[in-house]
Structure 1
């Protein structure tokens, strides 16, 4: 058991700092990923507007309706190709985010486990006779904190997996549409 209030305060501070470090690291990875997706979306939107403007100009300058239709039809292939490229770039970004997030989570989980194990050791090494119940309560609290870290990490991994699956579906649909247009 803690032999004085300073030990308890130190253990509490250590747990809090560990939680904040983990939260900051994972939040930083998530924000970096959002920034990358936003940059991709902005570049894609800019390219789309430029392509639409060029296509509109080409259609408006057509000499007859057939030439206008041909000009409009010629824009379908680049648009589909752009959608495929967007899906591929988005998949790369998501894969990188997933990898970085997993590495950060694994690192912080290992650090949390080591820190919590050290806290449990410190709590139990100076147990006074008759304090076993209090030690069990503290151990349970520390174990629950670690299980909380594990659950957050697990939920985040599941969310990333779901996003990856949705991107794969969208990419497959765009590729199927591209194949249909070429046929």
Structure 2
């Protein structure tokens, strides 16, 4: 599948993605990409976040590919059972935060727990770092396996955000291009 053949829904995490974050940059570069806005990026409400994602999928006019980061990953996985059948064709889930065990996350983020472990019904790529302060690589692997996802080892990449030096993140864009070729 080509990016022009689908609606690309970009799902930021806690506090959103500032203009220098790779997600914001991708939204401006991908012709069919758009950020799914949340009412409150700093005080996330699990049901409100899930509902906005489901509504965005329902409003899509073409097949959907999700690109989620951090808490956006959790919200996407939680919303997945409510997606219309066969609309979401794939998901790239980056820097999953272990909201069940990581105490360094705000209480509002941890309120999304527990994270579903149901197998996802669409091809999924989980990109995980060996040095993410919010999730061990092994834990990300456990969730990827449960979801039926392929996992990509991003090496020592921190939380794959601006703070870890991932502004434009060209390696991620290359990974997305390869993933898109595997989607029908």
Higher strand residue share: 2
Higher helix residue share: 1
Scaled by the length of structure 1, what TM-score is found?
A: 0.18
Higher relative contact order (CA 8 A, sep 6+): 1
Bigger Rg, structure 1 or 2? 1
Scaled by the length of structure 2, what TM-score is found?
A: 0.18
